[in-house]
Structure 1
Amino acid sequence: MATTSKTRKMTTGIMLASSALLMLWVSAAFIGALNQVNWQVGELMRQYMLATGMMKPLHTLVDYYTHIKGIEYLICVSFFVAFPVFVKYINKEKRPVPVQL
């Protein structure tokens, strides 16, 4: 039973140490990246999204229109889901609240 407790403590210590090292590495990488883009968080996010393919440069009007049309469809679908839920919430039957004296 004593070895199990010792093993648990050692495993916890190793996990905490490796987590601390990983956090230090991530912080250093993030600070280095911010330093590279002159401490502009927006520019760093833009470069990340371009590098991962989440955002593509729009070279023509057709590219831009296609992008806007896709966003418009997402807004319409979210409205078609949210509006019936909202109407059901507004028209919910009101129950009297019992008063305790």
Structure 2
Amino acid sequence: MNTEFSRAFVDALPELVWTARLDGHADFLNRRWLDYSGLSEDEAIGLGWQTVVHPEDLPQLLERWLSRLEPGRSQQAEARLRRFDGVYRWFQFRSNPVTDATGRVVKWCGII
């Protein structure tokens, strides 16, 4: 698959899709994620995605994330995410590790 097709495919999915480095910095957010949040790609990449997670939910979400990074286990959590109009909605966050040929976790991918 070429990169342009891959991007169009992921943008067409009816989910908020993301990938992140091992340190939790987002390195990809699909169009649906950006449209929902109202953030630009530049605003959301890195740790900017955290600005749309409800302040009461962010500490627990980050704690859960960090506790699963090292063992490389699939994750699931619930948190409120702010929509472009300022309304918070509950979402189920699900993620899986992406591994290299040796089984080492190199990235995380997820859907909301």
Q: TM-score range by the shorter chain?
A: under 0.3
Which structure: greater helix fraction? 1
Q: TM-score, normalised by structure 2?
A: 0.21
Which structure: greater strand fraction? 2
Q: TM-score, normalised by structure 1?
A: 0.23
Q: Greater Rg, structure 1 or structure 2? A: 1
